[in-house]
Amino acid sequence: MKKDGNRLEGIGERIDVRLTLLEEALGMTPGDPEIYGNWIASKAPEPENGAEEVGVIEGMDAVEDATTCFPRTEDGVPFCWDYQIKGFFKDACSALRRVPGTRSSKLTAFKKVIDGTVFVEQRRIPFQLPEGAECGRCERPLRASSASGERVALAASETVPAGTVLEFSILVMNPKDAETVREWLDYGALRGLFQWRNSGKGRFEWEEVA
């Protein structure tokens, strides 16, 4: 029997976003395919998505002993995955729920809302670096207390510079949540994307585009 099309088409509100980094952002993807497959991709809700992500890492040239990096398109362009943006939404909503007067403070079961009714339409979101810019590298110490005393390790990550642009579309199935999503995006100027955002890395401004 022939299907009549997607009955959900036209439901909800679409937000087209242009996001510009105010500070450099750090890659989150382990450059070792085995580590990525065992610890990250294996936990993907859809097995084919995990296999796709491992395949991207296996097809990349090694990033010079960087602990974490950005995946690359077939043309070598760094990108982030859709779920990394949704991870930011969860982080933003979790924080803003503690702030009286925000829309997020009134949103119940927010993780289920983000998982089930808020979608980033593009699976891979390319980074548009400023003209002439290249990916860089950020090294920082990681400190941890243990029974034998404080331990310090050096972490390294690939970076994309301030001024880098991301463009993507967000489908909010319940239109009443659209302003809450915009609130999370506004929060990005204070709380950045990806790794080491407590230090201000990955802070951004955004605008809606036609």
Helices 82-96 + 110-117 axis angle, to 10: 150
Confidence label for 197 from pLDDT (cuts 50, 70 and 90)? confident
Q: What is the pLDDT of residues 118-145, one digit of tens each?
A: 999 999 999 999 999 999 998 877 666 6
The CA-atom distances, in angstroms, between 3 and each of 7, 9, 186, 202 are 10, 13, 40, 43
Quick one: 160 exposed, middle or buried, by C-beta within 10 A (0-12, 13-18, 19+)? Answer: buried
Q: What is the pLDDT of residues 43-102, one digit of tens each?
A: 555 555 545 554 444 444 544 454 789 999 999 999 999 999 999 999 999 999 999 999
The pLDDT of residue 7 is 83
